[in-house]
Chain A
Amino acid sequence: MRNLTKQLAVTSLLLSSTLTFAQTDEEKGQRLAQLADKINSGWVDQTVDITMTLQNKAGEKNIRKVRNEALEVEGDGDKSIVVFDTPYDVKGTVMLSFSHKVGDDDQWLYLPALKRVKRISSSNKSGPFMGSDFAYEDMSSQEVEKYTYRFIREDKFKGQAVNVVERIPVYDNSGYSKQLVWLDEKRTIPLQIEYFDRKGSALKTQHFKGYKLHNQRFWRVDDLTMINHQKGTQTTISFENYSINQGVRLTNFAQANLSRIR
């Protein structure tokens, strides 16, 4: 009896040291999400060149190239510009997005053939981006408020200690019922995300490869691979020429500026 009490005391001591203080799994999940967000804030602006490689079931590959410019917005989602370079029929098309923590994003499209800036509906976040395995909601800025969280377990992922956190999209029109995020214990950055469709079945897995530290502060990946288990397709996004906090102008993200971008 005495032995058992002692054992319990030791266990609870161990538990409280890992959990810091008694907190629910929801609180722990939320805290980890906030920490990940805090670690990755303060980058101000970022430009990066993106190559997407779409691979179908038969292994045939299709390449898309886009350039991205993003601006961090205090207290709201980020502003982002995507300039399409290939396929050539969409070359020169520009997409401008103002993402928001809650609700729909604001989105505009510049169509160079018509010289037209068009405000578009962004409510379809679950649709594929350029025919790839990435949905618009996978690509848009990840804000803490977009999900509710629950800590699941501590685990090892490719030899590294991780926290596995479940997150459920707050957004009604999300294509997912839930996601499982493997967060690196030390750096609090995602190493893998599993996506579950609205019916709760496993849909996609995203792998994060080649993290490098930029500006001595920010972890950025070289490659993201999204594997669609239901379709048998996969898409790899490769990032090149990251440039962070270089002083991008706010008016670059003005609707009327879209026609000036090349």
Chain B
Amino acid sequence: MKLMILMLMGVWSTFTCYANVDIRGTANFSQRLYTDAQPEHHENQSLIFIESEFYVPINTNWSMLAKPYARYDSLEAARHQLDFKELNVSYVKGNFDAKVGVSEVFWGVTESRHLVDIVNQTDVLSSIDGEDKLGQPMVQLNWLHNSGAIQMFVMPYFRERNFASKVQRLHPDIVISSESKYEDTQESSHTDFAFRATNSIDNWELAVSYFNGTNRTPTMIQEADHYTPYYSQLLQYGFEIQGVFGAWLIKNEIIYRKGQFDWAIAHTSGFEYTHAGVLGDIDLGYLFEYSFDDLDEQSPSSFQNDLFFGMRVVINDIAGSEFLIGAVTDIDTHHWTMFRVEGSTRITPALRLKGELWVGDETRPNDPFYSVKQDDFLQLSIEYYF
């Protein structure tokens, strides 16, 4: 892995000397205030991250992309990060393209939970919504056609989920060992395979996917005074369906998988409706998604039988202001487990102001790993784009 990165960096520096480099990126500063005072925890947290992108077109077929990412967290060194979200060489010829190196891909159609999205490891230290990913080393082959694509992935190296080294804010209230265990003897060097085919037919978007490799989500093995992440082998079939009917979107993701336990099914199904032109130009989007997970108590998931309600408010002003409100309720316990409000507005063409309120309230006595502490917070961010 290290050798691969070094080699790519070598080739990279040779090319950047004379080629036309397209540089863009984001720098973010966030200040978080936790509303619950806890004796062993700080109430203030500062976060800084910089993500930049260097794209080098070599000729009509070949190009290179580097996306370094750096993060600083005032609360704990384990959350500092210096990494490549992407570092790859691409070859494009007509309807075919190949990519070698570290890459990021997204699979799926739903909003509240990303079941089929399995290729990249989730960067749980970066955000609580699981939308931030770690770069995955891979060889990716894509064939496009007019209404879809066929993709193949070979992943020679697995990246473990990062946990903070000690009990922290927004972190399971347990000590997690940095020494993971694996089902496969090759451990992180196990070669994973994945396949995905997508197609658009009229107002439908369809996709099927297959994954055979190391489970991105570990189960936690309880030991004397700590927990050890255990990565089993996983076989997963995924299905995605999205239909568009005027202002209505119907979404469905299903996975059928066999990991550490027996075959199990999980799905997220829901809809989105947009009410346009409210009070002038405002668009209101209503989201509703139901998540079911058959693995239940064995499963490293907090979405066994949950409902998600969301509302998107797009002001359609020059500043591009928008708000998102989301809430999750557990059908079994009739308990609201998450409430979140996000808002953002543009201050200058290169600067955006963001605000977020997050309230989490999930207690599961039999599963301390998925119990979120009283870590409700209010966050203000300023994001600069270049």
Residues of A bordering B, CB below 8 Å: 54, 56, 62-63, 86-92, 104, 106, 113-116, 118-124, 126-128, 130-131, 173, 175, 249-251, 253-257, 260, 262
Contact = CB atoms under 8 A, between A and B. Distances in A.
B64 to A, nearest CB: 12
A254 B55 contact: no
Contacts of A173: 276
A88 B246 contact: no
B105 A115 contact: yes
A123 B274 contact: yes
Contact of A121 (B142, B244, B318, B385): B244
B117 to A, nearest CB: 9
8 contacts: A87-B320, A88-B349, A89-B320, A119-B205, A121-B272, A128-B316, A260-B92, A262-B22
Contacts of B105: 115
Contacts of B346: 87, 89
A200 to B, nearest CB: 17
A153 B183 CA distance: 81
Nearest to B150: A256
B274 A86 contact: no
A72 to B, nearest CB: 16
Contacts of B248: 121
A131 B131 CA distance: 27
A58 to B, nearest CB: 12
Contact of A88 (B242, B317, B350): B350
B149 A124 contact: no
Given A89-B350, A260-B92, 18 more contacts: A62-B349, A63-B349, A88-B386, A89-B346, A104-B244, A115-B105, A118-B109, A119-B205, A121-B272, A124-B247, A124-B276, A126-B276, A251-B144, A255-B148, A255-B200, A256-B144, A256-B198, A262-B22
Given A89-B385, A106-B203, A119-B249, A250 B318 contact: no
Interface string B255-278: 000000000000000001010110
A121 B249 contact: yes
Interface string B86-115: 000000101101000000111011000000
Nearest to B107: A116
Interface of B: 22, 24, 26, 55, 92, 94-95, 97, 104-106, 108-109, 131, 142, 144-149, 198, 200, 203, 205, 242, 244, 246-249, 272, 274, 276-277, 281, 283, 316-320, 346, 349-350, 352, 383, 385-386
Contacts of B244: 104, 106, 119-122
A119 B185 CA distance: 41
A121 B274 contact: yes
Q: What 5 A-B pairs are tightest by C-beta distance, nearest first?
A: A256-B149, A88-B385, A124-B276, A87-B349, A116-B106
B241 to A, nearest CB: 11
B145 A251 contact: yes
A56 B274 CA distance: 27
A147 B249 CA distance: 27
A91 B198 contact: no
A257 B383 CA distance: 28
Nearest to B248: A121
Residue of B26, B92, B105, B316 most packed against chain A (CB within 10 A): B316
B246 A123 contact: yes
Contacts of B246: 104, 121, 123
B100 to A, nearest CB: 16
Given A63-B349, A115-B105, A254 B149 contact: yes
A124 B277 contact: yes
Nearest to B251: A119
A131 B317 contact: yes
Contacts of A175: 277
B283 A114 contact: no
A121 B244 CA distance: 6
A79 to B, nearest CB: 10
B242 A126 contact: no
A181 B386 CA distance: 41
B316 A92 contact: no
A260 B385 contact: no
A175 B246 CA distance: 16
Contact of A255 (B109, B131, B142, B147): B147
B198 A123 contact: no
Given A89-B346, A114-B106, A254 B283 contact: no
B363 to A, nearest CB: 31
B368 to A, nearest CB: 31
A87 B200 contact: no
B242 to A, nearest CB: 6
B91 to A, nearest CB: 12
